[in-house]
Chains A and B, each alone.
Chain A
Amino acid sequence: MNATSPWLKIEIEGDTSVLHLSGVWRLSNLAAISVALQSSGLSAGKRYLIDGGDLQELDTAAGFTLYRHLAKIECSTSMVSLRGFDQRHEQLLELVREHMDSPSVAPHALHRGTVQRIGAATLNIWLLLQGHVSFVGTVVLELLALIRRPKLFRVKETISQFEVICIDAIPIAALVSALIGVVMAYLLGIQALQYGANIFVVDGVGLAVCRELSPLLVAVVVAGRSGAAFTAQIGTMKVQEEIDAISTLGLSPIQVLVIPRLVAIMVALPLLVFVGDVAGLTGGMLISAMQLDISPLTFLDRLHSVLPMSAPVVGLVKAPVFAAFIAIIACRMGMQVARDARSVGLNTTSTVVQSIVWVILLDALFAIVFQHLDI
């Protein structure tokens, strides 16, 4: 029955067991102390006298572990008395005893089952879409209010947003489109060369770049660049309570933050798409001259005769619609940020993913609609 270890020793004095504690009872030794307690052979239902005369140091974690072990063997605190403790150690044990009833709290969140997670995710998407629709409603109402009082429109803010969204993005939009023009001309050229139909590369590159690739790629670039920026900017303002401050000053956050961005991006994207068209065709022209023996003049002449005006126009018509979706999603996700740092990151990621998915989805819808309209 008598167990001895560097930490504790049990002795029988008359009808009570005396538990002598010794050494440094601190967190750093707690693993060993815990083992010592387990193997001490303390048994239930007895009265214990705890002697702290030889105790050097004690902290709350060690005190807690001691009481927890006693509680485990159904030895309630009323059956335990203390002796010989240093006054501050006794005070500490008193503090620990007051908090002994605290239930344990697992540091890991409950793990949900697959079905539950699918259900929750589906519900989340539904709520997200519902929220987007209601946000569109709010923005439209604010726009109508602006039309009635056009003085409230923030020209300066809109122009500075336009500069960031459009002017600063020209190099990257041009680069991406030029490269895709190069790729298109190259791939088509390899096929066309086999039939000696080099000149048809111009038809293919012109149509693909102006109608589909430039609008799509530029929209994706802008979604990643400006969409993410909108969410991060508005989200950080939300965290700093700046949006509440705007409301409190009697201004509308939608008019101050959302509408300038919406207008700026809707103007900017068609212009960037036009830049993309020119760059893409230039890329195609470059490859045609180098690989396919089509001189730039021939290229332009052929382009002029075969590319219908409708192709670039379709591209330019799609752009503002893409832009509106990107702006609405990005601004709403920014407004939805909760008051913590993690949420800004999560919502920014979500904005980029949602915008790109929506741009591609809309592009597909446009393709079907234009097909039916014979454009």
Chain B
Amino acid sequence: MAQRAANRIDSKTETVLVADAIVTRFGTAVIHDGVSFSVRRGEVVALIGGSGSGKSVLVRELIGLLRPSAGRVQLLDTDVWNCSQDELNVLRRRFGMLFQDGALFSSLTVAENVAVPFQEHTNLPTELIPSLVGFKLSLVGLPADVGAKMPAELSGGMRKRVALARALALEPEILFLDEPTSGLDPISARAFDNLVRVLSDALGLTVIIVTHDLDTLLSIIDRVIVLDDGKVIANDQVKAVMKLDVPWIKDYFSARAPVVRSDD
């Protein structure tokens, strides 16, 4: 038992993602000017920053979709921008990505969307796949009858859940979420947060969330990385970051609508 506990501490300290001096330029515009940070296994890390601070771009660079102008990305012991296509494909089975608008395949039904990773990357007995698809849909809080629908027939929030079910299908070690709770009602958003946290704790899942949602930040996040003006201006636990005397961060954490009370 003690041995396993020690293992777990080890696994907590194992670094699964390193971004090293990332520079991104679009033409003459400099988006990132030396962004560096690392993420350990099992952490739930938020990436925040104002609109246009390049959060989504950074995530695309981390997962091998967009080549940074300079810098190095080390993801699960693979140098993302300096490895073969085969290595990258192996790597891609080990992380999941939830895109901002879900990015479901519009020509496939919901169930087919969720089944794609199983069919392409596993040798599961065919009779097992439908029940696993049903289970994954239920896991993200969707009723089974959604399975037969086309993505175009779903609401934004439902698409997001289906996309999460697809991202979770291969039981990834790292999950990248691009604004997972935007467009969800507060109840669904909190349920989504809890789901992410439970999965993270249970699976040792490392989660990197791009978010604007303060409630997400305050409830489930271990550590927050703040991007501003192309640089990481803060990288610490939420409580510590909140206390920093940086104008953007102060504005961010105080940017809540005043609560109107009618029971005076």
Contacts and interface: CB of A to CB of B under 8 A. Distances in A.
A108 B106 contact: no
Contacts of B191: none
Nearest to B141: A99
B4 interface: yes
B124 A34 contact: yes
Nearest to A346: B107
A105 B111 contact: yes
A91 B201 contact: yes
Contacts, number: 108
Residue among B111, B134, B144, B202 with the highest chain A CB neighbour number at 10 A? B202
A132 interface: no
B151 interface: yes
B220 to A, nearest CB: 15
A31 B122 contact: yes
Interface in B142-186: 144, 147-148, 150-152, 168, 170-171
B130 A104 contact: yes
A107 B111 contact: yes
A105 B128 CA distance: 10
Contact of B203 (A92, A105, A339, A343): A92
Contacts of B147: 105-107
B133 interface: yes
Given A109-B109, A339-B152, A99 B201 contact: no
Contacts of B199: 60, 95
Contact of A102 (B128, B134, B171): B134
Interface string B129-144: 1111111011100001
Contacts of B171: 26-27, 59-61
B198 interface: yes
Contacts of A88: 201-204
Contacts of B193: none
B115 interface: yes
B202 A340 contact: no
A99 B204 CA distance: 20
Contacts of B137: 102, 105
Contact of B106 (A34, A95, A343): A343
A149 interface: no
A47 interface: no
Contacts of B135: 60-61, 64, 96, 99-100, 102
A107 B112 contact: yes
A125 interface: no
B123 interface: yes
Contacts of B152: 338-340, 342-343
A71 B201 CA distance: 26
Contacts of B39: none
Interface in A341-355: 341-343
A27 B151 contact: no
B130 A107 contact: yes
Contact of B128 (A28, A34, A96, A100): A34
B92 to A, nearest CB: 14
A109 B115 CA distance: 12
Given A30-B122, A341-B106, A342-B106, A105 B134 contact: yes
A102 B122 contact: no
Nearest to A30: B124
B212 to A, nearest CB: 21
Contact of B123 (A31, A86, A101, A109): A31
Nearest to B110: A105
Contacts of A64: 131-132, 135
A91 B4 contact: no
A177 to B, nearest CB: 38
A105 B125 contact: no
A101 B137 CA distance: 12
Among B4, B109, B128, B137: residue with most chain A CB under 10 A = B128
Contacts of A65: 128, 132
A46 interface: no
A368 to B, nearest CB: 41
B46 interface: no
Contacts of A104: 130-131, 133-134, 144
A99 B202 contact: no
Interface string A10-30: 000000000000000011101
Given A88-B202, A92-B202, A105 B122 contact: no
A106 B173 CA distance: 26
B112 A68 contact: no
Identify which of B112, B123, B131, B132 gathers the most chain A CB atoms within 10 Å of its CB.
B132
10 contacts: A59-B203, A60-B135, A61-B132, A65-B132, A88-B203, A95-B198, A95-B202, A107-B109, A107-B147, A109-B109
Pairs A-B, 4 closest by C-beta atoms:
A102-B138, A105-B147, A107-B115, A92-B202
Given A105-B130, A105-B133, 15 more contacts: A27-B170, A34-B128, A65-B128, A95-B198, A95-B199, A102-B134, A102-B135, A102-B137, A105-B147, A105-B148, A107-B114, A107-B119, A107-B130, A107-B133, A342-B152
